[in-house]
Amino acid sequence: MFYIKTQINDAVDLTAEIHDDNVFTRCPECGRELAIDLVELLQGGESDLYGTAVYCAECSRKRCEGVG
């Protein structure tokens, strides 16, 4: 089991298990929230969570077309 943990204050820690349906990120271009499949994202073996950005479909299309 993998989980995230953050300290809210001196008395409270928040812990949540990581599952295939509760991992999200934000598009670095527009800020839209995106559900992420970590297995798919990391399957190539050369990705890391810190250096990986995931764009939404609209911003990806704009980047591929050189728009914006």
Q: What is the pLDDT of residues 24-67, one digit of tens each?
A: 999 999 999 999 998 888 887 777 888 889 999 999 999 999 86
Query: Is 17 within a domain?
Result: no
Query: Is 38 within a domain?
Result: yes
- Alpha helices, DSSP H, located in 1-68: 38-42, 57-65
Query: Is 29 within a domain?
Result: yes
Task: Look at residue 4 in the predicted model and tell me its pLDDT.
Answer: 92
Task: Look at residue 48 in the predicted model and tell me its pLDDT.
Answer: 80
**Domain count of the chain?**
1
Instruction: Give residue 30's domain range.
Output: 24-68
In contact, 36 and 25? CB cutoff 8 Å: yes
Query: Is 18 within a domain?
Result: no
Query: Is 67 within a domain?
Result: yes
Query: Is 13 within a domain?
Result: no
Query: Is 6 within a domain?
Result: no
Query: Is 11 within a domain?
Result: no
Please choose, from the candidates 14, 18, 67, 8, the residue with its C-alpha nearest in 3D space to the C-alpha of residue 41.
18
